[in-house]
Amino acid sequence: MSEKVVRRFYEKSTAAEVLVNENIKGKRFLVTGGTSGIGTSTVEALAEAGGHVVFTGRNNEAGNNLVCSIIKNHPGAIVEYMPVDFCSLKDVKRFAEDFLKKYKRLDVLIFNAGMFGGSHTETEDGYESAAQVNAISQVYLLELLRPLLKESAPTRIVFVSSEAHRSANIKHGHFSAALLSPSKQHYSSWRQYANTKLCQILISNYLQEQWSKDGMTFYALHPGNMISTGIGRSWAGAKVLFAVIGLFTKNLQQGASTTVYCSASSDTINQGGKYFRDCWLNEPTSTARDLVFAEEVWKTCQKMISDKVPNYVATTE
């Protein structure tokens, strides 16, 4: 971080505290996975601070209830729920088309939606579910919204990754579509989560190199250890584990602070291509910093999209 930036926030800082001296009124934020956990706290903090927040999810009842709750508590808030299923490339495209018809500006895109745990499942596109939700569909949505992000520059794109990336076992020369989307025989829920979270950091770093010339700035972050969120809803043991661990970790408002710090703080304007933890710079693994590998991951995701989406032209930069 630049020497001119003094650290103001720490592990227990909340998203609301991060936004106290920031003016985000009139800025439009798109938050994926906003109907539960850290996503909900992110949506609430941004909307309450004056941002125009559009958030996604798969639970329509939860999405509509959150909108009503925020407007009830903050009558002037501008917040909207739009459903999308990241397990479906077709639905990601449908969502992007709806968003582009409705909005002509997007200042910040936050990839908060994620999947962890549970048994091996495949999406309607035939990919392992975490691979598609945590990586492939995010790349696809980025490509679909790229023209708008460019036109809206300066824009920020934020990936909510994880310290779990340190447990990944993929690397340059040991990566393929089959490793990103493993079969049931080669599947480990923790390893898959770690690998896909590493991919998010790599994609962020790659796009910082490739797209920053168009006024886009990319960030990746770790929100906190074992925060009780909805991310592990498919894992039977998650509820009990998070209930116990949650006594010693961040609450959801604290868990959303680093997301908001990367999305809206004046401290991070010139900190693209970096990885954050507890509202400050953190060094990811050497594999996460490998730009050659980052390009390999990007191109693999693009190829996996083009294999399923008719007439999709994969980009390499």
Question: Bridge partners of 220?
Answer: 159, 275
If phi > 0 it is left, if psi is from -120 to 50 it is alpha, else beta; for residue 284 that is beta
User: In whole angstroms, what is the distance from residue 175 CA to residue 98 CA?
Assistant: 34
> Catalytic: which of 81, 127, 140, 193?
193
What is the DSSP code string of 248-294?
A: GS--HHHHTHHHHHHHH-GGGTT-TTEEEESSSB----TTTT-HHHH
The number of residues in the chain equals 317
What type of residue sits at position 105? R
User: In whole angstroms, what is the distance from residue 86 CA to residue 65 CA?
Assistant: 21
Token duo for residue 131: 């691979």
Task: Identify the burial level of 254 via C-beta atoms within 10 angstroms of its C-beta, where 0-12 means exposed, 13-18 middle and 19 or more buried.
Answer: buried
Token duo for residue 50: 């004056």
Token duo for residue 42: 């992110």
Question: Bridge partners of 300?
Answer: none
For residue 109, give every residue at least 6 positions away whose Cβ sits within 8 Å of its Cβ, in sequence order, or none: 29, 30, 142, 145, 149, 155, 156, 157, 158
For residue 283, give every residue at least 6 positions away whose Cβ sits within 8 Å of its Cβ, in sequence order, or none: 275
Our answer to whether residue 193 is catalytic in this structure is yes
Residues labelled catalytic? 193
